Amino acid sequence: MPLAPLVGHLDLRAQFLEAIASGKLPQVVLLTGPSGVGKQRLALWLAQRLACTGPAGEPCGTCRGCRMVLGLAHPDVHLLVPVARPKAGEPDKQLAEVAESLEAVMAERRAAPLWGTPDGMAIHGVASARLIQRRASLTASEGGWRVFIISRADRLVSQESSPEAANALLKLLEEPPPRSLFVLTATEPGQVLPTIRSRSVPVRMGRNSDAEVRQFVADHNGRTVGESGLRAAGGSIGAALADDDSASKGQAAARAFLGAVRAGTAAAADRALRQGAWHARGEFTAMLDGLAEVLAADARQLVVSGAGRDEAEAMLDSVQCVAAAREHAQGNVNPQLLLATLADQLGAVAAR
C-alpha cells in the first residue's frame, strides 16, 4: 500500500523545490516541528523529488523512482527509525539484527502507512550508526541521489559504548558524500545532541490547518473530527489519528511532573518515588519526551511574546537536562533515581 499523500506545508515545499532547482539544497537538514505534522512524510517527499524522473516541480508520483519511494522500497532511500537494542554481542551480528528490525518496521508500514510513535525504549544505537556508515559508503544503486532519513534523531545514543562509531557518524554528517542527503527529524532541536545540530541546517515545520486535519482524517480514517477533537489535535494529523494519543498522555504526565518540581523538594521527591522502579519504561520515556516538548514550546512562546527572555533561556537549559536524562534512560538506570536527579536539576535551573 503506497504512502498517504503529504498534506499542507506548501511554502516549505516550494522553498525546497527552489533549493533543488538552484543546486543549493543542504546535504544535512534537521527537520523539526510538532509531533504528527508530517516530518517523516516531508522527508520522504524530498526523497521522492530527488528520485523523480518527471518534470521539475512536485514529484510526478507515477515514474519508477516515485513509485519505489512511495512503496518504501527504493534501494537508495534509507528510512531509519528507532529500534530495540540488539541482543547480539558481536558488532556484525548487531548490525544485521538492526537491519532486520528496520526491514520488519518497513514491512509493517507498507501494510499500514499511517504509523504511530515508536516504542519508548527504541533507540538509534551504535549498531544503527554503523549501519548508516556502511550504507553511505555504497554506490547508489539507481545512479542518482542517496537519501538517509533518521527519524526521531533525539534518540541517537552517541555515547552508548563506542565513541569511534559516534565520531564516524559525526564525520559523515560534517562531510557527506556527493549527491547524498541526510534528513534528521525531531520535535524540538534542543532534544538533538549539540554536535549533531551544529552540522545540520535547521528547518522548522508548522502545524496543519484544522481543515487539513479534518479532511485527512475523513479521507484516510473514514471519520469526522469534531471541534473538540480539532482543538485537542492542535494542528497535528498524527494526534487526530491516534487512538490512545500516547503523546498527549506523555505531555500531561510531563506537566504534572513540572507542577511537582515547582511545588518544592518534598512534592518532587514524592513524585519520583511514585515512579515505577523497573516497569512501565515506555510510559516513563514518553513522559520525558513530553517534558522536552512542553519546555521547548513554553520557551518558544516566551520568545515570541517578547517577554521573559531569561526564563526562556532557563527553559532551553532545562531541555538539555531532559535530553541527558532521556539518554540515561536507555541504560540500566533506576527511573526513580533518574527522576529525582532530574527534578533537582530543573529546580536549580529555575532558581538561577
Q: What's the CA gap between 56 and 82, in Å, rounded?
A: 33
Query: What is the three-class DSSP state of 83?
Result: strand
In degrees and rounded to multiples of 5, residue 318 shows phi and psi of -65, -35
Write the burial class of residue 282 (CB in 10 Å: 0-12 exposed, 13-18 middle, 19+ buried): middle
Helix orientation angle between 163-174 and 126-136, rounded to the nearest 10 degrees: 40
Pairing assessment for the beta strands 28-32 and 180-186 based on DSSP bridges: parallel
Q: What's the CA gap between 6 and 12, in Å, rounded?
A: 12
Q: Are residues 237 and 250 in the same domain?
A: no
Q: Are residues 251 and 142 in the same domain?
A: no
What's the pTM?
0.74
Q: Are residues 129 and 69 in the same domain?
A: yes
Average pLDDT of the segment spanning 85-90: 83
- Which residues constitute the domain of residue 90? 10-206
pLDDT in tens, 173-196: 888 999 999 999 998 887 788 888
56: its cell numbers: 521539475
Q: What share of the chain is helix, strand, coil (3-state, %, to 5)?
A: 55, 10, 35
Q: Are residues 19 and 151 in the same domain?
A: yes
Q: What's the CA gap between 200 and 196, in Å, rounded?
A: 7
- What is the pLDDT confidence band of residue 304, given thresholds at 50, 70 and 90? low
Query: What is the three-class DSSP state of 330?
Result: coil
Place of cell 498534506: 7
Among 226, 243, 260, identify where a domain stops: 243
Phi-psi region of 209 (alpha: psi -120 to 50; beta: other; left: phi over 0): beta
Bridge partners of 31, per DSSP, are: 185, 203
Q: Are residues 126 and 202 in the same domain?
A: yes
Q: What's the CA gap between 218 and 103, in Å, rounded?
A: 30
pLDDT in tens, 192-240: 888 888 899 999 999 888 888 888 888 887 778 877 778 777 888 888 8
Task: Go through 103-132 and write b for each residue having 16 or more CB atoms within 10 A of its CB, e for each that does not.
Answer: eebeeebeeebbeebbebebbbbbbbbbbb
**Does residue 5 sit within a domain?**
no
- What is the pLDDT confidence band of residue 163, given thresholds at 50, 70 and 90? low
Q: Are residues 176 and 56 in the same domain?
A: yes
Number of domains in the chain: 3
Q: Are residues 276 and 234 in the same domain?
A: no
- Give whole-number Cα distances, 337 to 39, 274, 333, in Å: 34, 11, 8
Q: Does 44 have pLDDT greater than 60?
A: yes
Q: Does 57 have pLDDT greater than 50?
A: yes
